Amino acid sequence: MTAPLPLRGVSTHGFGELRSGHLGVRLARTPAEIDAVEALRFRVFFQEMGAHPPPEIAARHRDRDQFDDVADHLIVIDHSIGPGPEGIIGTYRLISRAAAEKIGGFYSAGEFDISRLIAFPGRILELGRSCVDSGYRNSAAMQILWRGIAAYVFLHQIDLMFGCASLPGTDPEALGGELTYLYYNHLAPPAFRPRALPHRYVEMRRLSVGAVDQRRVAAQLPPLIKGYLRLGGFVGDGAVIDDQFNTTDVIVLVKTDLVTDKYYRHYERQLRDALT
C-alpha cells in the first residue's frame, strides 16, 4: 500500500464529513443514526428485494446482527432532508480485524474459508451490508460512498479489503454467465484466494468460456461488483446460495493501494479537510 501522507489531529476512530452538493458521507455517530441505518437496510433487503426476515427482524423492522455492535457504519446523508438520521439514504458496514476479534470472526467466514485473508500480514477490512435508498441509485450516491470508503481506508492504513457481494436470485444456472465470467476473468491469485465453505460450495464454472458474451455479462453485473472490479478486484473460488437474502454470493477482495491512489489524487483537498 502507498504510504499515507502525515495527518494532524486525526481521530483514531473516524473522519469528518465529505460533501458533494447536498450529499455528504461520514461515519454514524449516534445510536439514532445506527438505528436509521438498520431501518434502511430492512426496507431495501427485506421489503424491496424479497429477503426473508427471521421473526425478531420482522418484528423490529430493523436488519441487525451481532456484527453491528462492533462495526463502523459509513452513511450517506441527503442534507436537503436533514443532517442526521432522517437524511440517511445509503450505508456500508465496515469491520476491522480488531473489531472482528471481539466477536470471534468476520461475517464472511459463515460462507467462505477466509483463512488466507486472515493470515495476510497487513491491515484488513471487511465491507458488507451495502445499500442505497431506491430514489438515490445513481452515480452521485455511489461515488460519494466510495469516497467515504477511500477516506476510511486511507485513515486506517488498510492494505486489503474484502466482503461478500451478491448476485440477485438463487439459481446458479440462471447466473451461469456472470459466475463463469467472474471465475475466468477475475479469480484471485492462489496466495490469498478465499474459497466457499465445502458444504456451501457452488461451482462458478457453469459454461464454457466461449459460450459467454463477455461484454454483455460484464455490463450487467451489479454496480457494487463492477465497482470492485474497476479497482482491480478479484473474486474467490466458489459461490454460495444465501436463501435468506434471496441471493447468490461471491467474495470479492481488493488491494487498497489502487483505492487510495485513485481517490486521493482526485479528492486530495477534500480528503485532507475531512481527516484533520
* Burial class of residue 13 (count of CB atoms within 10 Å of its CB; 0-12, 13-18, 19+): exposed
Q: What is the pLDDT of residue 8?
A: 28
Of 224, 114, 237, 129, the residue nearest 182 (C-alpha) = 237
* Burial class of residue 158 (count of CB atoms within 10 Å of its CB; 0-12, 13-18, 19+): buried
Q: What is the pLDDT of residue 139?
A: 81
What phi and psi values does residue 70 have, to the nearest 5 degrees? -110, -10
Tell me how far apart the alpha carbons of residues 130 and 141 are, in angstroms, rounded to a whole number: 12
Helices vs strands, H then E, count in the chain: 10, 11
CB of 164 closer than 8 Å to CB of 114: no
The amino acid present at 146, given as its one-letter code, is: W
Q: What is the pLDDT of residue 5?
A: 33
Tell me how far apart the alpha carbons of residues 62 and 260 are, in angstroms, rounded to a whole number: 33
0.85 surpassed by pTM: yes
Q: What is the pLDDT of residue 4?
A: 34
Please state whether beta strands 160-168 and 124-132 pair in parallel, antiparallel, or not at all (unpaired). parallel
* Burial class of residue 226 (count of CB atoms within 10 Å of its CB; 0-12, 13-18, 19+): middle
Q: What is the pLDDT of residue 16?
A: 87
Tell me how far apart the alpha carbons of residues 58 and 235 are, in angstroms, rounded to a whole number: 32
DSSP state of 206: -
What phi and psi values does residue 108 have, to the nearest 5 degrees? -60, -25
Q: What is the pLDDT of residue 194?
A: 98
The conformational region for residue 21 under phi > 0 = left, psi -120 to 50 = alpha, else beta, is: left
Residue 43, CA atoms < 13 Å, CB-side half-sphere: 15
CATH of domain 18-275: 3.40.630.30
Tell me how far apart the alpha carbons of residues 148 and 26 are, in angstroms, rounded to a whole number: 6
Q: What is the pLDDT of residue 260?
A: 60
Structural domain boundaries of the chain? 18-275
Tell me how far apart the alpha carbons of residues 89 and 76 are, in angstroms, rounded to a whole number: 6
pLDDT along the chain (276 residues), means of 10: 32 72 96 97 96 95 96 97 97 96 97 97 95 91 90 90 96 97 97 97 96 95 91 96 96 83 58 56
**How many Cβ atoms sit within 10 Å of the Cβ of residue 200?**
15
Q: How far does CA 218 lie from the centroid of its chain? A: 19
**What H or E segment, with its residue span, contains residue 183?**
helix 176-186
